[in-house]
């Protein structure tokens, strides 16, 4: 079987250039999907895999799931998508143009249950079901995923205290949307990342690992949705106020695309 070619793998985001065969997707069986967001006809008309049974529209960006995911999780995801893109209609339009969409895993599903990520079951080096509860979208594979347990602050959430969809959708906004309207963002982030590392900022953190994570971790803190300090992962910066003080130049870039509004995701709350 042919594996997807992987460009980069950072903290659960997978940046892919092409998908081949591999993995096996189990289409949901059992009771007919009967909640308000069940909409297989629309999903079929949009060309989505039979695995998906639920659908809600986020300003032209589909938010979808199997029948197992709670409707409430899709509605929370819709709010996050719309609010993160509200400041820049041009970036929002670019996301639609490139076919961005969001898939939500139920608490009983894993990464390789998602049809677009089923091939990862064939990766001999990484157990993606153990490693990731969310992957960011790219132009080549424009689905961003997250788990319902994180969106709804459920007790079973292993990432309690941070919002994974904010992080992963930040990757999608960067690589799918901003890439189209302001392609210089890549060199801008790369140069700034090198500069702040030279100053000693972001040591022993995900944000310090590369420009892609630098952006996504920054956006997560911008929305007060990052974890408390954790050795080798996060420093003390996990809120907008702390980010502005610690890294004002990154804050300026994020504000350009996200604005400086009061909205925050409901989880963590």
What are the tens digits of pLDDT across the range 111-155? 999 999 999 999 999 999 999 999 999 999 999 999 999 999 999
Count of Cβ atoms closer than 10 Å to residue 108 Cβ: 12
How far apart CA 80 and CA 122 sit, in angstroms, is 32
Residue 111 per-residue DSSP state? G
Domain boundaries, the chain: 5-169, 184-258
Q: What is the pLDDT of residues 40-52, one digit of tens each?
A: 999 999 999 999 9
pLDDT for the residue 30: 55
Count of Cβ atoms closer than 10 Å to residue 236 Cβ: 9
pLDDT for residue 269 is more than 80: no
pLDDT for residue 241 is more than 60: yes
Reported pTM: 0.89
Average pLDDT for residues 6-15, to the nearest whole number? 41
Annotate 203-218 with b (16+ C-beta within 10 A) or e (fewer). Answer: eebbbbbebbbbbbbb
């Amino acid at each position: 079987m042919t594996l997807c070619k992987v460009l980069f793998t950072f903290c659960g985001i997978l940046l892919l250039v092409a998908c081949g065969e591999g993995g096996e997707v189990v289409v949901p069986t059992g009771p007919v999907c009967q909640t308000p967001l069940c909409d297989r006809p629309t999903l079929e008309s949009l060309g989505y895999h039979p695995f998906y049974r639920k659908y809600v529209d986020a300003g032209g960006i589909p938010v979808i799931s199997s029948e197992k995911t709670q409707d409430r999780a899709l509605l929370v995801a819709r709010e996050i998508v719309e609010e993160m893109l509200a400041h820049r209609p041009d970036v929002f339009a670019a996301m639609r143009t490139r076919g961005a969409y969001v898939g939500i895993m139920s608490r009983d599903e894993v990464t390789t249950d998602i049809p677009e990520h089923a091939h990862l079951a064939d990766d001999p080096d990484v157990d993606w079901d153990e490693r990731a509860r969310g992957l960011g979208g790219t132009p080549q594979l424009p689905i961003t995923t997250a788990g319902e347990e994180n969106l709804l602050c459920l007790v079973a959430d292993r990432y309690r205290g941070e919002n994974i969809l904010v992080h992963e959708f930040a990757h999608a906004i960067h690589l799918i949307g901003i890439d189209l309207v302001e392609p210089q963002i890549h060199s801008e982030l790369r140069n700034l990342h090198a500069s702040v590392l030279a100053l000693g900022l972001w040591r022993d953190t995900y944000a310090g690992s590369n420009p892609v994570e630098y952006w996504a971790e920054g956006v997560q803190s911008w929305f007060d949705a990052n974890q408390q300090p954790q050795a080798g992962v996060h420093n003390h910066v996990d809120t907008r106020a702390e980010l502005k003080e610690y890294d004002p130049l990154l804050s300026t870039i994020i504000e350009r695309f996200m604005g400086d509004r009061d909205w925050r995701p409901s989880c963590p709350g």
